[in-house]
Amino acid sequence: MESWSIGGLSQRLPVSVLTGLLGGVKTTVLNYLIQQPALNRMPVLGLA
């Protein structure tokens, strides 16, 4: 896992990668996750 630091404080940033075949419900899973209140501050990065 990569580490980064700001002002000398080292932090770890957990990352999850959602992959799968074309038409494999990735969008459905992602929409479900970002609607969960517990995950409302989760950053989402979309790559095309």
pLDDT in 10s for each residue of the chain, 48 residues: 566 666 666 677 778 888 888 888 988 988 898 899 988 888 888 776
d(C-alpha 44, C-alpha 16), whole Å: 10
d(C-alpha 46, C-alpha 48), whole Å: 7
- Residue 26 contacts residue 18 (beta carbons within 8 Å): yes
pTM equals 0.57
Cα 47 to chain centroid distance, Å, stands at: 12
The DSSP call for residue 30 is: H
Among 13, 44, 42, 43, residue whose Cα is nearest residue 2 = 13
